[in-house]
Amino acid sequence: MSKALDGVRILDFTHVQSGPTCTQLLAWFGADVIKVERAGAGDITREQLRDITDVDSLYFTMLNHNKRSVTIDTKNPEGKLVLEALIQKCDVLVENFAPGALDRMGFTWERIQELNPRMIVASVKGFGPGPYEDCKVYENVAQCAGGAASTTGFDDGPPVVSGAQIGDSGTGLHLALGIVTALYQRTQTGRGQKVLAAMQDGVLNLCRVKLRDQQRLERTGTMKEYPQYPNGTFGEAVPRAGNASGGGQPGWILKCKGWETDPNAYIYFITQAPVWAKICNVIGKEDWATDPNYATPAARLPHLKDIFAEIERWTMTKTKFEAMQILNKYDIPCGPILSMKEIAEEPSLRKTGTIVEVDHPTRGKYLTVGNPIKLSDSPTEVKRSPLLGEHTDEVMTELGYSPEQISALRTAGAI
Ligand code: CAO
């Protein structure tokens, strides 16, 4: 079966996490992704957080599936010529170097345009234009600068970063959308363009509801669904809301049977208004369904702490899975807190290709997260990440270099 991005060639100049997330997605959709790395070293993550000596780390393998790897020293004059040949042959150049690195290499937007006016140049940077545009940025910096950290955690504690890599993988996702959009526009204009996804912007986009709340707070001085209401105080900025739901339906994380020893024996419980009477029945508080202090969402707001404490008395008598089964029968929205171990072992995620076992020549078998976006006409087949420079000769041959030329370039340290 054909793939959605068959025929699209990506010159993948990405490293670490944000850029590789983006190009891995494009590869899963069928693009030919040619990852350019430095000979002898490669993407720094190949050797970061290694669990097996001299074997590409899981950090690298899990972000670089379905790609080809070529080694080019792009600061070597002959290496630059190879890169130029690749620019002429590819549709998109994706990079997430520190600001200015591509220019310093000699590959400015103008130079790339000269070589290939159809080329789309897509970049992840930490910040967009402004006071921090020259800064190097990693995940947690973006979470802090994008509004996620100040709004995550509990009111009486410090800001907290999330385990979800919204700065890196989140921005990679944003960039992938920018690239396919630019490819679509190119079908009409025939021209390439620059695509920029700044990590601060990407995180802020994912924190949109918190900017909503900032404005609500400024207008009304309070937010009734936040745990600070009614007894605590609100300051000038959106406070951390613990596990309160970001929407109009109050929710909280509640203990389940076994919580004393299992750190993940918890369930997320949402007191969705249309099923309030059912919730009251399940937890044995039938009178709350008609009691004027509890019967309506507005009446419940000042009592949310007590309500969740009462519901927790019930959830603590059930395992998270038992509670989930009972609550789902009544359409009461809830979700078990799943550990990574439980997720890794979940058969339904294996079945859908969301968790995939991959075989690697030096690592052996390992688990990865497959393509989370499923296209009915473009199925994803997850293929192992390339070894460093595994495809250098193959790609050089496709570019028209003879075996003798390839060997001379290797001797000169250009590839
Ligand atoms: N041949 C020759 N030189 C190469 C090369 C190649 N194949 N590939 C990279 N280089 C060079 C670059 O040209 C650059 O050289 P200069 O500094 O002389 O211009 C150098 O390698 C290092 O690039 P870098 O500054 O991007 O790398 P770093 O490890 O110092 O910084 C990071 C890493 C992530 C902080 C930085 O790249 C960055 O801020 N990127 C943008 C934001 C981003 O994507 N952050 C998320 C990363 S995922 O957590």
Beta-ladder partners of 355: 369
pLDDT > 80? residue 106 = yes
Q: CB burial class (10 A; 0-12, 13-18, 19+) of residue 362?
A: exposed
Contact 202, 169 (CB under 8 A): no
* Residue found by looking up tokens 């290694």 in the block: 50
pLDDT > 90? residue 108 = yes
Q: How far is the CA of 131 from the centre of ligand 1 (A)?
A: 20
| Coil vs helix vs strand at 271 | coil
**Ligand 1 proximity of 16 Cβ (cutoff 6 Å):** yes
Q: What type of residue is 142? A: A
Catalytic residues: 168
Beta-sheet pairing, 92-95 with 120-125: parallel
Question: CB neighbours of 408 closer than 8 A, spacing ≥ 6?
Answer: none
Which residue's CA is the nearest one to ligand 1's atom 35? 136
Q: How far is the CA of 97 from the centre of ligand 1 (A)?
A: 4
Question: CB neighbours of 188 closer than 8 A, spacing ≥ 6?
Answer: none
Q: How far is the CA of 185 from the centre of ligand 1 (A)?
A: 29
Beta-sheet pairing, 67-71 with 32-37: parallel
Which residue's CA is the nearest one to ligand 1's atom 15? 101
Q: What is the pLDDT of residues 41-63, one digit of tens each?
A: 999 999 999 999 999 999 999 99
Q: What is the pLDDT of residues 194-209, one digit of tens each?
A: 999 999 999 999 999 9
**Ligand 1 proximity of 21 Cβ (cutoff 6 Å):** no
**Ligand 1 proximity of 13 Cβ (cutoff 6 Å):** no
Q: What is the pLDDT of residues 198-246, one digit of tens each?
A: 999 999 999 999 999 999 999 999 998 899 998 889 999 999 999 998 7
Which residue's CA is the nearest one to ligand 1's atom 28? 98
One DSSP character per residue, 90-124 reads -SEEEE-PSTTHHHHTT--HHHHHHH-TT-EEEEE
Contact 169, 107 (CB under 8 A): no
**Ligand 1 proximity of 128 Cβ (cutoff 6 Å):** no
Residue 248 is predicted with a pLDDT of 82
Which of 129-143, 224-238, 351-365 is predicted with the least confidence, judged by mean pLDDT? 224-238
Beta-sheet pairing, 32-37 with 9-13: parallel
Establish how many alpha carbons lie within 13 A of residue 249's alpha carbon, considering only the half-sphere containing its beta carbon: 12
Residue 100 is predicted with a pLDDT of 94
For residue 3 the two structure tokens come to 């793939």
Q: CB burial class (10 A; 0-12, 13-18, 19+) of residue 19?
A: buried
Listed residue (348, 354, 349, 384) closest to 370, CA to CA: 354
For residue 379 the two structure tokens come to 């199925």
Query: What are the contacts of 210-218 at 24+ separation with CB within 8 A?
Result: 210/147, 210/151, 210/238, 210/246, 211/147, 213/238, 214/238
**Ligand 1 proximity of 36 Cβ (cutoff 6 Å):** yes
- The mean of the pLDDT values for the chain is 97
Q: What type of residue is 113? A: Q
Confidence of residue 1 (pLDDT cuts 50, 70, 90): confident
pTM of the model: 0.96
Please state the atom number of ligand 1 nearest to the C-alpha of residue 74: 1
